[in-house]
Structure 1
C-alpha cells in the first residue's frame, strides 16, 4: 500500500484547481463553453486587443490553456504543461498590465496568479499522485523544464512584442489622422 505525504496531496490540490481553471478558460476560447466566445468570438476579441491574426491567436491560447490545464490536472508532461499554461497567462497579463495589478481594476492579478502557479508546478513537479509518477516520469525529466520554458518564453516574447508593435502603429495612425483633420 502506498502512503502519500502532505506534499503529494498539496500538489494534487494545486494541480486540480489550477489545471481545471485553465482548462475551463481554454474551453471558453475553443468551444464557447461556460459563456465563452468560441473560436470566432474569441478571435474577434483577440484581434481587437492587438493579437493578430485573431483566430490563430484564439486557437493558440485556447490550446495552451485547455491542453496545459488538462495535463497539469492529470500530472502528465508537467514541465511542458506548466510552461504552456504560464506562457498563455503571460500573454493575458500583458493585456491587463496597463490597468495595474489588482483584478478589481482590470489588472493582471488573476493571470499572474494562474501563470505563476502553472510555472511553479512545472518546476516542482506533479508529486506522486500523478500520471507522470505512474509512467516513471517518461515525460517529466529534469532537462525538460528549462527546454519547455525556453521554447515557451521565446514564443511568448515574440507574440507579446508583435502585439506591442501593432498597438503602437495603431496609436500612431490615430494620431496622424487627428493632425490631418
Structure 2
C-alpha cells in the first residue's frame, strides 16, 4: 500500500486549484464559457491591447491556459503544462503593468500569482498523486523542466516584446497627431 505524505497532498491541492482556475480562464477565451468572450470577443480584446492578430492571440492564450491548466490539474506533462500557463500569464501581466501591482486597480498581481504558481509546479513536479507518477514520469523528465521553461521564456519574450513595441508605436502616433492639429 502506498502512503502519501503532506507534500503529495499539498501539491495535489496546488495543482488542482491553480490548474482549475487556469482551465476556466482559458475556457472563457476559447469557448465563451463563464462569461468570457470566446475567440471572437477575446480576439477583439487582444487586438485592442496590442496582441495581433487578435484571433490567433486569443487561440494561443486560451490553449495555453485551458490546456496547461487542465494538464496541471491532472499532473500530466507537468513541465510543459506549467511553462505554457506561466507564459500565458506573463503575456497577461504585460497588459496590466501600467496599472501597478494590485489587481484591485487593474494591476498584474493576479496574473503574476497564477504564473508563478504554474512555473513553481513545473519546477517542483506534480507529486505522487498525479498522472505523471502513474505513467512513470514519461512526460516529466528532469531535462524537460529547463527545456520547457527556456522555450516558453524565449517565445514569450518575443511575443510580449512585439506587443510592447506595437503599443509604444501606437502611442507615439497618437501623440504626433495631437501636435499636427
TM-score, normalization by structure 2: 0.99
Q: Provide the aligned C-alpha RMSD in A.
A: 0.5
In structure 1, the partner of 2:42 is 42
Distance apart, 1:26 and its partner CA = 0.4
Question: Where in structure 1 do 4 or more consecutive aligned residues deviate above 2 Å?
Answer: none
* Unpaired stretches in structure 2, ≥5 consecutive residues: none
Q: Deviations over 1:144-173 (max 9, x none)?
A: 000001110011000000011101110111
Q: Deviations over 1:26-64 (max 9, x none)?
A: 000000000000000000000000000000000000000
* Unpaired stretches in structure 1, ≥5 consecutive residues: none
Q: What is the number of residues matched between the two proteins?
A: 181
Paired with 1:168 and 1:15, the residues of 2 have a C-alpha distance of 37
Q: Deviations over 1:72-109 (max 9, x none)?
A: 00000000000000000000111111111111111111
Paired with 2:100 and 2:168, the residues of 1 have a C-alpha distance of 19
Paired with 2:78 and 2:146, the residues of 1 have a C-alpha distance of 12
The alignment partner of 1:43 has SS state of helix
Distance apart, 1:134 and its partner CA = 0.2
In structure 1, the partner of 2:66 is 66
Distance apart, 1:179 and its partner CA = 1.4
TM-score, normalization by structure 1: 0.99
Paired with 1:170 and 1:101, the residues of 2 have a C-alpha distance of 24
Matches within 5 A, 1:5-154: 5-154=5-154
1:157 equivalent in alignment to 2:157:
yes
Distance apart, 1:175 and its partner CA = 1.2
The alignment partner of 1:141 has SS state of coil
Paired with 2:17 and 2:175, the residues of 1 have a C-alpha distance of 45
Distance apart, 1:2 and its partner CA = 1.2
In structure 2, the partner of 1:2 is 2
